[in-house]
Structure 1
Amino acid sequence: MPDIFENDRNYVLGDPELEILGDRQKLARWRHMNVGPAYYKLGRKIIYRGFDLNVWAAKNRQDPNAC
């Protein structure tokens, strides 16, 4: 699967690329429920690594033809 996100880039809340996953509230719910992609919390800043986002996306890939 080709990468959706740039592997060696860091993404912060507000980056338009993160909107593919959902809005800020959805990402906050995922963090609160301990689901969703891995992230770093530095003070109040949330940082997602592109590599972690791609790993998470690959794990959540659905193939309707794989029966």
Structure 2
Amino acid sequence: MTNLFEQNRNYVLGDTELDLIGDREKLAQWRHKGVGPAFYKLGRKIIYRGEDLNAWAEANKFEPSKRVTK
């Protein structure tokens, strides 16, 4: 598994690294719908752990099927 995010780092809204998976509005929509990566809500602060972001990214990995041509 390739890590897109630092495993032992916490990310907060506004960190540019989070733009890799979606902008602030998209992340808010996912939180509201109960989809997207796991997060912590501490008061008004939203925190994403790097290991949770990597696990979510891996779970959403898409590998196109390899077609054999004849």
Shorter-chain TM-score range: over 0.9
Q: Which runs of 4+ in 1 moved over 2 A?
A: none
Residues in 2 aligned to 1:66 and 1:8: alpha-carbon distance in whole angstroms: 35
Match of 2:62 in 1: 62
Residues in 1 aligned to 2:32 and 2:60: alpha-carbon distance in whole angstroms: 19
Larger radius of gyration: 2
Residues in 1 aligned to 2:10 and 2:66: alpha-carbon distance in whole angstroms: 33
The TM-score normalised by the length of structure 1 is 0.95
Deviations 1:22-58, CA, capped at 9 Å, x for gaps = 1111000000000000000000000000000000000
Residues in 2 aligned to 1:53 and 1:7: alpha-carbon distance in whole angstroms: 8
Q: CA RMSD in A?
A: 1.2
Q: Where does structure 2 lack aligned partners over 5 or more consecutive residues?
A: none
Matched residue type, 2:45: K
Match of 2:44 in 1: 44
Of all paired residues, the percent bearing the same amino acid is 64
Kindly tell me the number of residue pairs found equivalent between the two proteins.
Answer: 67
Residues in 1 aligned to 2:66 and 2:50: alpha-carbon distance in whole angstroms: 27
